[in-house]
Structure 1
Amino acid sequence: MEAARPAVAAAPAASTTLSYLPVGLFGAVMGLTGLAVAWRLAHQAYGAPAVVGQAIGALAIVTFAVLAIAYGIKAAAGWSTVRAEFSHPVGGNLFGTPLISLLLLPFLLADASLGLARLAWVLGAVGMTVFAWAIVTRWLSVRHTPAQVAPAWIVPVVGMLDIPLAAPALRWDGLHGVMVFGLAVGLFFALPLLAMLLSRLITEDPLPPALQPSLLILLAPFAVGYSAYTTTFGHVDAFAQGLVMIMLFLLPVLLARLVHLPACSPFRVAWWAASFPLAASAVTALRYAAVVDSPVMDGIALLILGIATLVIAVFAVQTLAGIVRGRLRELS
């Protein structure tokens, strides 16, 4: 009986620690999965070491499993905390990150277990559609102030655009209509949301320093949109090229937001919001380079891949160091 007391006493402490676990940390899974796909493409096109993409992919799967268990414990220990997080006008949009992770993981799972890959995709596609309906209903039912409009609002849109991406890897017939559905809904809502975000950024106070990396989410509709469009229709036309060119124009502008960030703001897990847009940009650049067969585009694609790899590596080291030191609350 005496030996059992320390374990009982430790349980509330563990629960308290996990109560600070933000759902947006699933953005790490998105970034790692996207980076693994990018390194796969680099291996196919340029002979980059295959082990790099394999290692990053394995890390993405393990990260998803750990976060799913940890967030499940958080939900079981304090459902009111999760409900409050979902009700937040900005943070609630980040509940799309675990669903997007499920839509991306089939890239990594299909070769090992097609059944598991299909299950993850179905859960992600159905969950993402229901989540998008809920968020759009909230937008139309609740009055929001301009200051509440944030880059995180794009997450549900990006989630719908992610539905077509891994569909070919599932080797299922009859998914074309679902792919068109996700692509159409995502692109339809991307345009007004981007206009609202630009208006908010131009006319309102700047985002706090710790949230500056989330501005890279503005890249996602173009980077993911290109991959979703070409995957759905199987060719690169003028519209697809336009998406790539907008992405390449915005990327240097938004990367500049990261240069001075370490000096003005300590690391926060919210910075992971920049990981998937960077990884998706690398994937798009590599795919486009394979089509246009241009040495300049090859160089640009490899440069973006290098930047994405470096940024995500820094985020991973900072996150792991903070968790080991018990600073999850400060990082959140």
Structure 2
Amino acid sequence: MPRENLNDLLAFLAVAREHSFTRAAAQLGVSQSALSHAIRGLEARLGLRLLTRTTRSVAPTEAGERLLRTVGPRFEEIEAELVALSALRDKPTGTIRITAGEHAADTILWPALEKLLPDYPEIKVEIAVDNGLTDIVAGRFDAGVRLGEQVAKDMIAVRIGPDMRMAVVGAPSYFAQRPPPRTPQDLTAHDCINIRLPTYGGLYAWEFEKDGRQLRVRVEGQLVFNNTALRLNAALAGLGLAYLPEDQVQAHLAEGRLVRVLADWCPPFPGYHLYYPSRRQPTPAFALLVEALRHRA
């Protein structure tokens, strides 16, 4: 069908629904004379009168009613599909790449994604677990997760977790053989489960603070790990003291499987932040993820 015939059909539908050339012309943004010309052309091609015109009103004829019933819904379907397509411009979609440490990925990112993603099947998320301070620009990541004190000043940082505390813990079986440490310096006489982090280029020195005094203690022991789960398992097995995020050991402390020491030397510190370049223009999918992760006290 020629395109002008489609335009004439749209003109007819507007007049038949509005029962007025004046209102239909305003709706379509054309003059009344142009609208009348289009209707007359359509009637001439079909060889049928579609509208009955009086000085007071316009009404479809029997043929016009039939055309309105059969053609009208099809144009409505087309309009609905066009609206749905235009909505895709703002629909959250695409892939988001994030680099984060193991603890942040387990305790912050995963709980948020588990709730968010089922409602947004067009969003894909890749999480690279890396305990190093990855360059997100060079690594082509959309964002990274770090503790608040580690975020570079030229990045936008969004707080996604509460303040954190570390905990020094050991199993009751471990303390059955030796007295608990009273100060961080006492740790040098204990078997400790070491942490190797690429950021520090070697074994991590446990950090403590009390009354404004800061200490970093290099500990010794039989075991060295670069993840949280194995350090926790080793502590539960009584193989040494572990330095772990407080939330990872709370259940074990409550059940008596672990004992905490040096709590007064482990004050809170700024928790995890999502960070990304300030020049980045967030996509709808990325903006949605940021809001899902944003920490609300």
TM > 0.5: no
The normalised TM-score by structure 2 is 0.27
Larger radius of gyration, structure 1 or 2?
2
Q: Which has the higher helix share?
A: 1
